[in-house]
Amino acid sequence: MGEGRNLFMLSADYIVGLTDGEGSFTVYLHPPRKIGKYATKHYRVECHYYIKLREDELPVLKEVKKFFNCGNLYLQKEKRPNHRNCYRFEISSYEKIREVVIPFFQKHPLHSVNRKNDFDLFCKIFKIVGNKDRKSLTEEELEKIRKLKLQMHKGVPEIRKANLG
């Protein structure tokens, strides 16, 4: 698809399907930095929503960025053998996660059981982090975040597997 070619107007269903197949809800937990100019006293919790596509699909990601009216595009260079470079559309701003990403996927639910599970866990973690000063998380809250994070990106949970038949 050429760079100058107009894409169709993306729909909410298209975004949901693209996220089901190529998206991710990810949480990063960074320990305090002990030394240096940027030393910190507290853990940092970062919540990210992203969609990753091949380099030649950049026009699609540009349309996704327009659809959400926020986020950033990054070139992700691959060093692994048999992998190609790709582009990543990402939203990591707490404000945009709270005001755009979470409400969108609550209104337009994901279809993939795995991605839906990750989104639900992502929302639980965001609720812990987003409701207070991110620097003042208690050890109990951090432990809860760790446990929730460990459940992400694992495929279909055993309980849901049993319910699927």
SS3 category, 111: coil
Per residue in 86-136, pLDDT (tens digit) is 999 999 999 999 999 999 999 999 999 999 999 999 999 999 987 655 567
Q: Is the pTM of this model over 0.75?
A: yes
Beta-carbon contacts of 53 under 8 Å, excluding residues fewer than 6 positions away, are 22, 60, 61, 86, 87
Average pLDDT of span 24-49: 82
pLDDT (0 to 100) of residue 134:
55
Position 4 scores a pLDDT of 47
Count of residues for the chain?
Answer: 165
Question: In this model, does residue 161 exceed pLDDT 60?
Answer: no
Render pLDDT for 7-35 as a digit per residue (tens, 0 to 9).
567 999 999 999 999 999 999 988 877 77
- pLDDT exceeds cutoff 70 at 156: no
Domain boundaries, the chain: 12-163
CATH of domain 12-163: 3.10.28.10
Which amino acid is residue 16, in one-letter code?
V
Residue closest to 53 by CA, chosen among 21, 17, 13: 21
Average pLDDT over residues 156-164: 46
Predicted pLDDT at 39:
62
